[in-house]
Structure 1
Amino acid sequence: MNFETSILTDFYNCCNVPIRLTNEEFKDLCKVGYTDFFDRIYPIEEIKLNINNSEEEFTNFHLKLKNDINYKIVDMSKYNKKTGYFVIGPFRTNVITNLINKDIPYKPIACCQYLSTLILSIYEDKLKQSTPSSIMSPYIRKAIGYIHMHYKEEISIDSICEELDINKCYFCSLFKKYTGNTFSYFLNNFRVEKSKELLRNTNLSLLEVAFSVGFNNQTYYSIIFKKFTNQTPSQYRSSSLLCELNE
């Protein structure tokens, strides 16, 4: 289970309320607890309208629609400027509408006030668990958290420094100091580890695997993979299958 899915799964297990994570352009990164029905009623345009009209630095919307359909939209800009949004819901807050139609989870209004706090607490806890305890710099914690969330997308040192509002040279020295590696080495290693999961557990082509973890071409992906593992992706997949057969 990847980093972002584990966050949503923990939240869903606690509350039984569907939740999705989107990037800053409202593209889904992952979702948990959603059904086809929930996807059909997902009010993406209304959510965009509310967020785009907000002048607040940190946003926490409670969006209430007709038929007592509610959503919480939690902006993660508190941690990184353009990380994205947690969208919690749908859920109902009126016990009468819930009795009429129980297809959408019911949460008392007093309870739903804490949903945004809970998801952010889970996110912070997961980030701390996945970051070595020796890394105390908030810049490095945020950078690693950003990699966990966005490794499938194009990431550069320049974009990270812009997100964190930090000088590039200072960031590079700070990252090397706390992790022992350069930012590029850390990012590529993380992507390779994620690609191993896909090689073991899916039938995706090598090109599809490369794209899925943020590499823009198969050749470069294979070069980087062999650098970290001393195997090509194909060799790794074959050896993993052989190990499974021998177990």
Structure 2
Amino acid sequence: MGTYSRISQEIQETLAAFTACTALPISALTLEGAVLGYAGSKLPGALDVDKLKAAYEKVALRLESCELTPWPIHLNLDGDSQFQLTAVPITEGNHSPGIYLIGPFSRSQLHACVHFLVGLLRQIQASKVSSPGGFPANLHVRRAVRYVHQHYKEPLTLASMARHLGITKSYLAQVFRGEMGETFSEFVNRFRVEMSKEALAHGSEPVLTIALRHGFTSQNYYGRVFKKLTGITPSEFRNQARFQSVSQGELPSANSQ
């Protein structure tokens, strides 16, 4: 009983930390559809428990029909294709303990950074093992992460973020890297790159326009950061995404030629 209580508490703390960082609802459910925890249930657009369970039933059907489940699983909300839920297993590589349901969130705004959100969730989970006190423990780091999510298109520096939070630059640098495992500028660049991928894959804007629209100061800098994080250039990523769409039977739009 003590072990179960500890695991349940860790899940609750993980959900709370994720919502604090992202301002998104997230829930955890068992394979039987019982709700283990729910953070952000009062946020705009959050689903009630009955709708959560209905969404879980769709995930369960996918799990039954697929021998190898392609995580994450994305679900459109009934009657509204603009919003989606994303499901991932509570334990990476093993869905028997249950699943997390992230969202709902806007496809146009956040679908491109699903992998970033899942990565953040896994970071939080890992911190529960090494640091039971929570993730991020520092309120300033939580506020900084949420601010980046909302203002990544604007100029963002360690100094400006520290001024916004009312703390010193050196203190923010220390606590941010200590809790996130990367510098503030690395975190900002990684988030901007993730958010830009949707425009590269499905849009027709020039790479320069995409770079500037996602907070980068030049195409060259965007290209260097993108390749450092992904191993390929933005143009190579776009070409790969288009080839994949065509191979899957999707015709590119006339504007994307």
TM-score tier by shorter-chain length is 0.3 to 0.5
Provide TM-score, normalisation by structure 2. 0.46
TM-score, scaled to structure 1: 0.48
